[in-house]
A and B are shown apart, each in its own frame.
Chain A
Amino acid sequence: MNTIILQIASRYTLPLLLLFSVFILLRGHYLPGGGFVGGLVASIALVLHAFANGIKKTRELVKIHPGFLMPVGLSTSLLSGLFPMILGKPFLTGMWYPHSVPVIGSLGTALFFDIGVYLVVVGATLTIIFSIIEAP
């Protein structure tokens, strides 16, 4: 699938799609979207890039091994759940920063939880697909 059109297109669509996936992630609390969909969109963007340019290029672009994202995401979600416990509230209690933050809106533990989900989904999906592409 080494078509020039796809290669050129993916060069421009990748950042756009990644940005879009973050957008979906952030708006998830108010409108359709969220960590799962955001993560899947991001993975599709990278898979598309890998199809167009070859897996090696994508690996170079991503730099870190996608599997690494899974523990990071898991701990982010877990910590966001543990945080309220420090303040003596039950595990996974939703807590919010009282003031509105530009771009993101309200800032709360649920957001960090969703970011964790996003990272795990990206990590797991890419691990699966990259391993398959590279497998003999």
Chain B
Amino acid sequence: MEILIAICIGLLYAAGIFLILRRSLVRLILGLILLGNGANLLIFLLGRITKGKPPIIPDSAQTIADVYADPIPQALILTAIVISFGLQAFAIILVKRAYREVNTDDLDQMNTHEQ
């Protein structure tokens, strides 16, 4: 399964980068989201995946004795997800606003050349 997830991560990265390299701003944002998902999944995988053992201490015990999923990547990803929502919202609104002002979402037409 790890290998399948690794392939998915690679695919997410590739798709994200490909979309970022497009001229359309909407695609750029989609690319950013996919890239973010890829990064989250990568962190998750690097903490090793464990099935059916969430990092929750059983009711009866003070500490967790059994093998359990690594909580640190989970805490990292949780904050990353929320932050990326803020970023995405801002980016989407920026595109919308820019489109209203300059009437294009083509990055190249937004370029102001310094000549």
A-B CB contacts (within 8 Å), total count: 13
Q: How many B residues face the partner with a CB closer than 8 A?
A: 9
A132 B93 Cβ-Cβ under 8 A = yes
The reply to whether A32 and B89 form a contact with Cβ atoms under 8 Å apart is: no
- A32: contacting residue among B56, B93, B96, CB under 8 A: B56
Chain A, residue nearest B54 (CB): A32
CB-CB contacts below 8 Å: B38-78 with A: 54, 56, 78
A31-B56, A32-B56 are known contacts; what are 11 more A-B pairs with Cβ within 8 Å?
A: A30-B56, A32-B54, A36-B78, A36-B82, A121-B82, A124-B86, A125-B85, A128-B89, A128-B93, A132-B93, A135-B96
Interface of B (DSSP majority class): helix
CB neighbours (8 Å) of B93 from chain A are 128, 132
Q: A36 to B80, alpha carbons, bound, how many Å?
A: 12
List residues of B (85-99) whose CB comes within 8 Å of A's CBs.
85-86, 89, 93, 96
Shortest beta-carbon distance from A103 to chain B in Å? 18
Number of interface residues of A (CB under 8 A): 10
Residue among B56, B82, B85, B93 with most chain A CB within 10 A: B82
- Residue-by-residue, is A97-136 near B (CB-CB < 8 Å gives 1, otherwise 0)? 0000000000000000000000001001100100010010
Within the assembled complex, what's the spacing in Å between the Cα atoms of A66 and B96?
22
Per the bound structure, the CA–CA distance linking A124 and B86 in Å amounts to: 8
A residues near B86, Cβ cutoff 8 Å: 124
List 13 A–B pairs whose Cβ atoms lie within 8 Å, in order of A's numbering.
A30-B56, A31-B56, A32-B54, A32-B56, A36-B78, A36-B82, A121-B82, A124-B86, A125-B85, A128-B89, A128-B93, A132-B93, A135-B96
CA–CA, A13 and B108, complex, Å: 46
- A128 to B96 CA separation, bound complex (whole angstroms): 13
In the complex, which residues of chain B have a beta carbon less than 8 angstroms from the beta carbon of A124?
A: 86
